[in-house]
């Protein structure tokens, strides 16, 4: 798990600022949210950056359902989840985990989900390592196979040339045989007095 301590200042989207006003400062109406953001924009940005700094980055990568394919960063700070654009370090949104069964269950849920995520990432790393190792071995086999294919293709090319050469000799031989047969026929026809016109 990565800690957020090495994070530099993130920019914060207006949407994230509005969610902060709504979810952290209990502003309900659109007017209250907009007013709070306008009056406290800088402080909201500092607070969200503090949440990132003291939170844990649990994931960096693509997420499902996004409008774009830009990798995201997911931070956990207590019961708060923060989502940021990994390329431009802009906080997209934040929310508090609330299953409706109390903060103890919420905390247990977040801990278990983070644990499951770490296990899944460990499995992914192990699977990636094994696949890379296996692919290196197969790459050597493929290179050897490609070399053999080229060698056999060269042999096939030489055999085709040889066959073409023998076919040419055979054609020449048949042509010579036909000429010799014509010569014999011509002599016989002369002998028996037949002429070709």
CB neighbour burial string for 117-133, b if at least 16 within 10 angstroms, e if fewer: eeeeeeeeeeeeeeeee
Q: Average of pLDDT values for 118-143? A: 93
Helix, strand, coil share of the chain (percent; to 5): 65, 15, 20
Looking at every residue in the chain, the average pLDDT score rounds to 89
Asked if residues 94 and 80 have their Cβ atoms less than 8 Å apart, the reply is: yes
Q: Which residue has the higher pLDDT, 58 or 3?
A: 58
Ramachandran class of 98: left when φ > 0, alpha when ψ lies in -120 to 50, beta otherwise: beta
Alpha carbon distances (Å) from 25 to 14, 21, 32, 47, 118: 15, 5, 10, 12, 31
Task: Encode pLDDT of 57-70 as tens digits.
Answer: 999 988 876 667 88
Largest Cα–Cα distance of the chain, in whole Å? 127
Query: CB of 104 within 8 A of CB of 89?
Result: no
Mean of pLDDT values over 98-116:
93
Question: For 67-89, how does the pLDDT look when each residue is reduced to its tens digit (9 = 90+)?
Answer: 678 899 999 999 999 999 999 99
In the predicted model, is pLDDT for residue 147 greater than 90?
yes
pTM of the model: 0.66
């Amino acid at each position: 798990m990565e800690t957020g301590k090495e994070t530099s200042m993130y920019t914060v989207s207006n949407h994230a600022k509005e969610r902060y006003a709504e979810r952290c400062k209990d502003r309900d109406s659109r007017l209250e949210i907009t007013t709070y953001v306008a009056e406290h924009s800088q402080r909201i940005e500092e607070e969200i950056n503090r949440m990132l700094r003291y939170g844990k980055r649990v994931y960096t990568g693509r997420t499902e359902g996004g409008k774009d394919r830009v990798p995201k960063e997911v931070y956990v700070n207590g019961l708060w989840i923060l989502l940021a654009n990994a390329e431009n370090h802009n906080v997209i949104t934040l929310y508090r985990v609330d299953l409706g069964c109390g903060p103890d269950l919420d905390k247990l849920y977040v801990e278990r989900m983070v644990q499951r995520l770490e296990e899944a990432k460990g499995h992914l790393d192990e699977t990636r390592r094994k696949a890379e190792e296996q692919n290196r071995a197969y790459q050597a086999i493929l290179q050897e196979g490609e070399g053999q294919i080229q060698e056999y293709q060269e042999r096939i090319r030489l055999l085709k040339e040889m066959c073409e050469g023998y076919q040419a000799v055979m054609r020449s031989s048949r042509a010579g045989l036909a000429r010799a047969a014509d010569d014999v026929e011509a002599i016989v026809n002369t002998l028996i007095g037949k002429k070709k016109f």
